[in-house]
Chains A and B, each alone.
Chain A
Amino acid sequence: DQQVKQNSPSLSVQEGRISILNCDYTNSMFDYFLWYKKYPAEGPTFLISISSIKDKNEDGRFTVFLNKSAKHLSLHIVPSQPGDSAVYFCAASINAGKSTFGDGTTLTVKP
């Protein structure tokens, strides 16, 4: 039973356009959500997070939206840059404890 799902294994966008990465979860106890970015041969790095008391969190070009009723969150990257090409993992936790990760979405930003 996978509690965090990223249904799109890959996404390709043009430089300068918006990238939207999606994530769904099933456990209603999750109250803290994170996005990580991973380059090849490196470990994941924390990108942005959101608490369940909010529905939006913004950090520069990155915005995370949370829809609790739909158990869905999304990461928006605007504008997308070639350096954003990486694998993006969605993760969820209870009380900011142990994280449960999705399987990742590979984003390719074309120049």
Chain B
Amino acid sequence: EAGVAQSPRYKIIEKRQSVAFWCNPISGHATLYWYQQILGQGPKLLIQFQNNGVVDDSQLPKDRFSAERLKGVDSTLKIQPAKLEDSAVYLCASSLQPTSETQYFGPGTRLLVL
């Protein structure tokens, strides 16, 4: 069974530029999560989708971050414009059900904003 795929693995951009990350969850997983992990900290949930609907986006900075999950499969997370403090690893995870134990994480995208 293929795991959660993310691309790109690394991205370096200038502040005020925009960037997009892509996630392909495990086939059949209805729930998809995006996390932000700043160096030295634990993952912080940005947004949770159930199929193509948003379940929780309470910690998503909506003035600059957006995410979508068209057709309830792949998802993209966008940052526009990027700030220095957005430098982090962005992790995508998926699960069959919206319960914490069954989350499978992708390898993450490491973003550096200069």
Contact = CB atoms under 8 A, between A and B. Distances in A.
* Bound together: yes
A25 interface: no
A44 B107 CA distance: 8
Interface residues of B, number: 22
B7 interface: no
Nearest to B35: A101
Interface centre among A89, A99, A102 (most CB of B within 10 A): A99
Contacts, number: 54
Contact of B42 (A46, A96, A103): A103
B43 A96 contact: no
A93 B102 CA distance: 13
Contacts of B108: 42-43
B106 A96 contact: no
A89 B40 CA distance: 11
Contacts of B98: 97
Given A98-B48, A98-B56, A44 B99 contact: no
B107 A43 contact: yes
Interface string B91-107: 10100001111111111
Interface of B: 4, 40-45, 48, 56, 91, 93, 98-108
Given A96-B101, A97-B98, A99-B45, 14 more contacts: A4-B42, A34-B100, A43-B105, A43-B108, A44-B43, A44-B105, A46-B101, A49-B101, A91-B42, A96-B99, A98-B56, A102-B42, A103-B41, A104-B41
